Amino acid sequence: MNILIIYAHPSKKSYTFQVLERLKSAILKQNWNLEISDLYASNFESDMSEEEYEREGFAKLDLPIAEDVLAEHKKIENADCLIFLYPVWWSDCPAKLKGWFDRVYSVGYAYGQTESFPKMKTIPHGIAICTAGHPNHFLDEIGIAQSMEKIMLEDRLGKRFENKEMLILGGTLELEKVMENHFLQIEKIVSNLSN
Ligand SMILES: Cc1cc2nc3c(=O)[nH]c(=O)nc-3n(C[C@H](O)[C@H](O)[C@H](O)COP(=O)(O)O)c2cc1C
């Protein structure tokens, strides 16, 4: 299995980085191929340029697609599973990752497809994993868990993936209470992929 992790956190001192390390070792234990798009480390351009907007906004498929976006398309085409890993910032992913969707989900490729343009393949597995300061029960109570799941799973992953799952690793303000369980959930989500 070829796994692509789209990772969005700026700091190696973060808990999200520890989650990345756990995830990597669980994946490598399975002997799968792993590629990581580390959006902050690679300084991924998350702002859409005026020319890119013209292509997207007016569906001008003949306008060029930027090289960095084409490189992401290539990684996607090679993957059997995409895992998005990020911290929850203001009830959503960091702007860096939002910008990845804005630019990499280009028209003709990820939506607005036509016969004459190469379209994104349907990927067997799509997983979103986010860390959150609030505990899961609170995110459920205030409806934020459901809205994050709706946007991530139904819109951003959408019909582009056959099997979709979202894991909210909440309660990171009191890490000692949740960490062990989080790491178990990570192991489980990876081992479920092999079934
Ligand atoms: C700018 C910012 C916004 C945040 N917004 C939220 C939020 O809306 N909901 C939430 O549960 N936690 C929020 N948090 C807490 C992060 O989700 C938490 O820091 C993350 O789970 C784990 O931290 P780390 O990976 O940065 O160490 C926010 C943190 C930052 C820095």
Residue 57 alpha carbon to ligand 1 centre in Å = 32
Give the CA dihedral 96, 102, 103, 107, nearest 10 degrees.
170
- Cα three-residue angle 105-107-108, rounded to 5 degrees: 110
The backbone torsions φ and ψ at residue 103, rounded to the nearest 5 degrees and listed phi first, read -95, -45
pLDDT number for residue 16: 98
3-state secondary structure of 113: coil
Residue segments in the chain with a per-residue pLDDT below the cut of 70: none
Cβ contact 75:36 at 8 Å? no
pTM (2 d.p.): 0.97
Among 20, 182, 15, smallest CA distance to 85 is for 20
First to last CA, the chain: 12
Q: Is the CB of 44 under 6 A from ligand 1?
A: no
Residue nearest to atom 18 of ligand 1 (CA): 133
pLDDT number for residue 190: 96
Ligand 1, pocket-test mutation among 172, 174, 186, most atoms within 8 A of CB:
172
Among 103, 85, 113, smallest CA distance to 9 is for 85
**Number of Cβ within a 10 Å radius of residue 187:** 15
pLDDT number for residue 116: 83
Residue nearest to atom 28 of ligand 1 (CA): 89
Give the tens place of pLDDT for each residue, 123-157: 999 999 999 999 999 999 999 999 999 999 999 99
CA–CA separation, 81 and 78 (whole Å): 9
CA–CA separation, 193 and 195 (whole Å): 6
Q: Is the CB of 87 under 6 A from ligand 1?
A: yes
Region of 172 on the Ramachandran plot (φ > 0 left; ψ -120 to 50 alpha; else beta): alpha
Q: Is the CB of 133 under 6 A from ligand 1?
A: yes
pLDDT number for residue 115: 87
Domains and CATH numbers, the chain: 2-193 (3.40.50.360)
Residue nearest to atom 17 of ligand 1 (CA): 132
Task: Tell which atom from ligand 1 comes closest to the C-alpha of 91.
Answer: 8
